[in-house]
């Protein structure tokens, strides 16, 4: 029973809860038991909050019993990457620097999840300050990959990806500055969306790089992801990056099929500009066939070279993150983990003129990218170029982490989703990435859901996480 509840989708669990066939308290207790049994292997959580979770589940249960069902997240467990504020709990950013930093108020996304009746299960592992990891020299151990616990789960929303893959949560929030939602989604075979820049408020989320930061949903299925985004999206006048765009039902086009949908394949990002692992290339080739069979028109396109985006992204990210961390780097450099400190120090020598040049280049790249996909609905490309590797193989981690095709869409701010696209012969997740026009997340979900339905990679479970093993 525990595994069955652990791997329920939001859609399935919410229907059972709405029809009173499943009690939020029962679901919460089952997941807490799974966390207790499995999380020592995966370190997905920095802090589990059973008292808060059970209290919220009991309130939800009473409200639903009284006929006050509020929507799909009512009574639904969720986890927050530990750079997202939850009033009264520490937001540590997985760092000694903020180990005692208790949040005074909720982030906007936490407020929305609470208002929807969600059940907060705890704070999830991240790379230090969403940049330094995977690291073995921090106050908490790094999350491990449920598909092979010797391997890293991607990052920086590492605990979010691991918790979903292990069936510890049906919903988690991540953040994405250079790919940090889509990387763990790719490594853990779950679904992660970086929404359009400005779609989801970042207020109450510790910044890494303000002009590149995004908050987004992570789930095991595409429809779950769209439903979670429905809740998170919305204008926030107090987030200067927030976009005053109307809220829509992001799941509205799921099930409409792919007939006439135009997909651009940005193959050069993973075969010319960089060469992906052969099994990753093959997985996307197969995905192209699947999408074409479903009625989509797929044609190859060329975006600007990957390096142009990468240079731009790293300079902006370096300058903005150094500005945020400058005081601590000056006063407490030894309190960072080595990897986080190295990454943050990278920005120390960027001049104001370099930063401004990178911002100007960002506009040019965005214009060229949108021009290249003017007559397309979405772009298909790789997310990660390699499968995950051993977490303790520092050379392999350093070599493979930068090999990705995610950064371009932090630069352009477009919505981008990573999802499973099969498995290597060793049983490790492979992935693909779908990129949409600004504020057209609904089209991404339409294509992703059709592909998911045709392949059902989302039904596979990591070894050792089902009932017999718990």
Task: Tell me which residues are annotated as active site.
Answer: 81, 156, 180
Q: Is there binding between residue 246 and other proteins (CB under 8 A)?
A: no
Q: Minimum Å distance from CB 321 to other proteins?
A: 12
Q: For the chain, give the number of residues.
A: 470
Q: Is there binding between residue 105 and other proteins (CB under 8 A)?
A: no
41 CA to centre of own chain: 21
Q: Which stretch binds other proteins (CB under 8 A): 16-24, 169-177, 253-261, 327-335?
A: 327-335
Q: How far apart are CA 95 and CA 301, in angstroms?
A: 42
Task: Scan residues 292-311 and list those touching other proteins (CB under 8 A).
Answer: 307, 311
Q: Which stretch binds other proteins (CB under 8 A): 70-78, 101-109, 219-227, 232-240?
A: 232-240
CB distance 194 to 216 below 8 Å: yes
Q: Which helix (H) or strand (E) holds 365?
A: helix 352-372
Among 361, 381, 383, 388, binds other proteins (CB under 8 A): 361
Closest CA to 236 of 202, 259, 264: 202
Q: Is there binding between residue 108 and other proteins (CB under 8 A)?
A: no
Q: Is there binding between residue 260 and other proteins (CB under 8 A)?
A: no
Return the structure tokens found at 27.
Answer: 């679901």
First-to-last CA distance in the chain?
A: 10
CB distance 435 to 444 below 8 Å: yes
Among 1, 66, 334, 395, binds other proteins (CB under 8 A): 334
Q: How far apart are CA 291 and CA 419, in angstroms?
A: 14
Q: Is there binding between residue 175 and other proteins (CB under 8 A)?
A: no
Q: Is there binding between residue 448 and other proteins (CB under 8 A)?
A: no
Return the structure tokens found at 98.
Answer: 């903020």
Nearer to other proteins, 328 or 423 (CB): 328
Q: How far apart are CA 105 and CA 89, in angstroms?
A: 9
Q: Minimum Å distance from CB 365 to other proteins?
A: 10
Q: Minimum Å distance from CB 220 to other proteins?
A: 36
Among 20, 293, 299, 363, binds other proteins (CB under 8 A): 363
Return the structure tokens found at 67.
Answer: 């006929």
Among 8, 38, 165, 312, binds other proteins (CB under 8 A): 312
Q: How far apart are CA 162 and CA 172, in angstroms?
A: 10
Q: Is there binding between residue 318 and other proteins (CB under 8 A)?
A: yes
Q: How far apart are CA 9 and CA 6, in angstroms?
A: 9
Residue ranges that bind other proteins, judged by CB under 8 A: 237-238, 240, 307, 311-312, 314-315, 318, 322, 326, 329-331, 333-334, 338, 341-343, 345-351, 354, 356-364
């Amino acid at each position: 029973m525990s595994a069955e509840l652990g791997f329920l989708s939001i859609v399935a669990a919410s229907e059972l809860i709405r029809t009173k066939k499943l009690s939020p308290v029962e679901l919460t207790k089952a997941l807490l038991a799974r966390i207790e049994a499995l999380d020592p292997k995966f370190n997905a959580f920095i802090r589990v909050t059973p008292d808060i979770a059970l209290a919220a589940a009991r309130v939800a249960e009473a409200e639903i019993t009284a006929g006050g069902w509020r929507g799909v997240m009512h009574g639904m467990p969720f986890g927050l990457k530990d750079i997202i504020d939850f009033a009264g709990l520490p937001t540590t950013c997985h760092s000694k620097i903020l180990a005692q930093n208790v949040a005074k108020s909720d982030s906007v996304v936490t407020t929305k999840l609470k208002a929807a009746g969600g059940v907060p299960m705890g704070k999830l592992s991240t790379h230090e300050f969403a940049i330094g990891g995977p690291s073995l020299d921090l106050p908490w151990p790094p999350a491990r990959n449920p598909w092979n616990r010797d391997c890293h789960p991607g990052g920086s929303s590492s605990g979010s990806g691991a918790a979903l893959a292990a069936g510890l949560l049906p919903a988690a929030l991540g953040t994405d500055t250079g790919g940090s939602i889509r990387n763990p989604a790719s490594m853990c075979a779950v679904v992660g969306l970086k929404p359009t820049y400005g779609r989801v408020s970042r207020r109450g989320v510790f910044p890494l790089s303000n002009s590149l930061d995004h908050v987004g949903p992570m789930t095991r299925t595409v429809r779950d992801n769209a439903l979670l985004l429905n809740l998170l999206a919305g204008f926030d006048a107090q987030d200067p990056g927030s976009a005053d765009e109307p809220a829509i039902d992001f799941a509205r086009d799921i099930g409409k099929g792919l007939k006439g949908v135009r997909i651009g394949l940005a193959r050069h990002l993973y075969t010319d500009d960089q060469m992906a692992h052969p099994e990753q290339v093959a997985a996307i080739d197969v995905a192209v066939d699947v999408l074409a069979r479903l009625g989509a028109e797929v044609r190859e396109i060329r975006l600007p070279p990957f390096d142009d985006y990468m240079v731009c992204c790293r300079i902006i990210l370096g300058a903005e993150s150094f500005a945020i961390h400058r005081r601590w780097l000056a006063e407490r450099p030894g309190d960072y983990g080595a990897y986080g400190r190295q990454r943050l120090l990278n920005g120390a020598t960027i001049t104001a003129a370099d930063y401004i040049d990178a911002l100007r280049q960002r506009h040019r790249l965005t214009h060229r990218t949108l021009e290249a996909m003017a007559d397309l609905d979405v772009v298909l490309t790789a997310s990660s170029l390699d499968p995950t590797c051993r977490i303790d193989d520092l050379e392999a981690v350093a070599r493979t982490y930068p090999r990705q095709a995610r950064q371009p869409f932090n630069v352009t701010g477009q919505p981008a989703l990573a999802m499973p696209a099969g498995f290597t012969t060793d049983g490790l997740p492979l992935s693909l990435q779908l990129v949409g026009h600004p504020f057209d997340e609904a089209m991404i979900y339409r294509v992703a859901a059709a592909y998911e339905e045709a392949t059902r990679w989302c039904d596979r479970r990591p070894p050792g996480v089902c009932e017999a093993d718990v």
